[in-house]
Amino acid sequence: MRRMNFTDTQVATSETARGINRGIVLNLIRRRQPISRADLARASGLQRSTVSLITEQLIRENWVIYGSTGRLPRGRRPTFLQLNERRAILVVDLRPSLTTIAVSDVNGRFLSKHEVPTPADPDAAANVFSAKLRQLIESHPDLMFEGIGISVPGRFDELHHRVLFAPNLKWPEFDLRGPLEKATGLPVEMENAANACVLAEVWFGQAELVRDLAVVTVSEGVGVGIFSGGRLVVGSNGMAGELGHIPIDADGPKCGCGARGCWEVYASNWAALRYYREASPAGADLTFKDLLALGEKGDPSARNALERQAHAIGRGMRMIVAALSPEEIVFVGEFTRLWDSLGALIVAEVKSAVLVGKPPRVRPAAAEPSVARLRGTVALVLQKHFGPYVALDKPKLVGGQYTQAAL
Ligand SMILES: [Zn+2]
């Protein structure tokens, strides 16, 4: 979220103001489509003439199209505007064993989805993904592709274009962006999976007006995405949020990062499977999905393993509450299917972690994990055009300065 100050340190050119207004209008159309120009003016606080200029430009650029015509009892019928669904984004959700490659429209609706086994190394992955992406582009000649978004189980260093620290993927540092841009001719945006889930909540979920949010993703590992003061926090090299690798017991089991007793070796899906195997050695081949199914049927060993995982997730919440004091904590993970029973254990831990004041709201994500990651990467590509994040409150111009509400 940009905070503009028109009087002190930053001189706003008319181009800057136009860019901000364009972002506000585009986001309003995205959130409230189909919407008339009159409603756009009312909701944005912009003048009708400004809204008309911006929408004409967006129509020329093929971002927006005319939709249905509204009906009023008398007078002119307003024409409603909506996003052009022929604008599309290619998205890749890179996971340690299986990768999903999908085509999404500008509204985050998936037009096709394919799974490929994740190749053993980055070079092979660049070849496999390039071929699949090119095939998808060719099979959708009616779509205008805007770019490619990739969610990775690691942290992305934007400055050096490399994926750093992907312990569960077991690849060395790599650059996937360069080869894929070369192969497809499209710009590639990459982001950590937990950060992608933050964007999914803010863009397509229920966290539209939340400014301080932590998203905890629980899968093979545990990742945290931080949205603070209306901005995604990435840190100096993209490594912010690696709370899953804070050791909570120096004598604990070995972690994929090389240390011992990290939070994620107690709280991940792999940890839950380890708890189950300790009690039932016959379950060596069980997947986490199988474990959940057993838990849903009331199998005592499975329930016990999942409850131990939930307690471990909850204990880590102390770090999150103390470090970030978020308004809301959102969980993304297959375990949220059993939220009715496991959620209470986590909520209790969060409550006990609060020193003063109200505890943060705690809830499972709006979308299931793979959809959240894919939608987040759609937002990653779109935010270049729509602006990083624009809340729907009206901007308040006070004494020549915008207050923080909308920008
Ligand atoms: Zn670790």
Q: Which residues pair with 260 in a beta bridge?
A: 254
- pLDDT at 74 (0 to 100): 65
- pLDDT at 13 (0 to 100): 66
Instruction: Please classify residue 257 by burial: count the beta carbons closer than 10 Å to its beta carbon, then call 0-12 exposed, 13-18 middle and 19+ buried.
Output: middle
Whether residue 73 has pLDDT greater than 50: yes
- Across 71-85, 268-282, 325-339, least confident range: 71-85
Strands 231-232, 222-228: pairing is: antiparallel
Residues 6+ apart with CB under 8 A from 334: 219, 269, 288, 289, 292, 369
User: 316: CA distance to ligand 1 center in Å?
Assistant: 13
Distances (CA, A) of 95 to 2, 73, 123, 168, 383: 32, 54, 16, 9, 23
Q: Cα(375)–Cα(104) distance, rounded to whole angstroms?
A: 8
Q: Cα(111)–Cα(88) distance, rounded to whole angstroms?
A: 9
User: 232: CA distance to ligand 1 center in Å?
Assistant: 23
Q: Which two tokens stand for residue 401?
A: 């300065």
Q: Cα(93)–Cα(386) distance, rounded to whole angstroms?
A: 22
Tell me the mean pLDDT in the region 379-397: 64
User: 255: CA distance to ligand 1 center in Å?
Assistant: 5
- pLDDT at 162 (0 to 100): 78
What pLDDT, in 10s, does the model give residues 44-71? 899 999 999 999 999 999 999 988 665 6
Q: Cα(308)–Cα(265) distance, rounded to whole angstroms?
A: 12
- pLDDT at 72 (0 to 100): 59
User: 221: CA distance to ligand 1 center in Å?
Assistant: 9
Computed over every residue of the chain, the mean pLDDT equals: 86
User: 245: CA distance to ligand 1 center in Å?
Assistant: 4
Whether this prediction's pTM lies above 0.75 is answered by: yes
- pLDDT at 84 (0 to 100): 95
Task: Categorize the per-residue pLDDT at 400 as very low, low, confident or very high, splitting at 50, 70 and 90.
Answer: very low
User: 362: CA distance to ligand 1 center in Å?
Assistant: 25
Whether residue 128 has pLDDT greater than 70: yes
Extended strands (E) in 40-176: 64-69, 79-83, 87-94, 98-105, 110-117, 144-152, 155-157, 162-164
As a whole-number percent, the residues of the chain with pLDDT over 70 amount to: 89
Q: Cα(252)–Cα(257) distance, rounded to whole angstroms?
A: 13
User: 152: CA distance to ligand 1 center in Å?
Assistant: 17
What pLDDT, in 10s, does the model give residues 265-284? 999 999 999 999 998 888 78
User: 253: CA distance to ligand 1 center in Å?
Assistant: 10
- pLDDT at 93 (0 to 100): 95
What residues sit around ligand 1, an ion, with C-beta below 5 angstroms? 245, 255, 257, 259, 262
Q: Please tell me which residue, 300 or 158, carries the higher pLDDT value.
A: 300
- pLDDT at 203 (0 to 100): 87
What pLDDT, in 10s, does the model give residues 139-163? 999 999 999 999 998 888 877 777 7
Order of strands across the sheet that contains 64-69: 35-36, 79-83, 64-69
User: 258: CA distance to ligand 1 center in Å?
Assistant: 6
User: 329: CA distance to ligand 1 center in Å?
Assistant: 22
Task: Categorize the per-residue pLDDT at 384 as very low, low, confident or very high, splitting at 50, 70 and 90.
Answer: confident
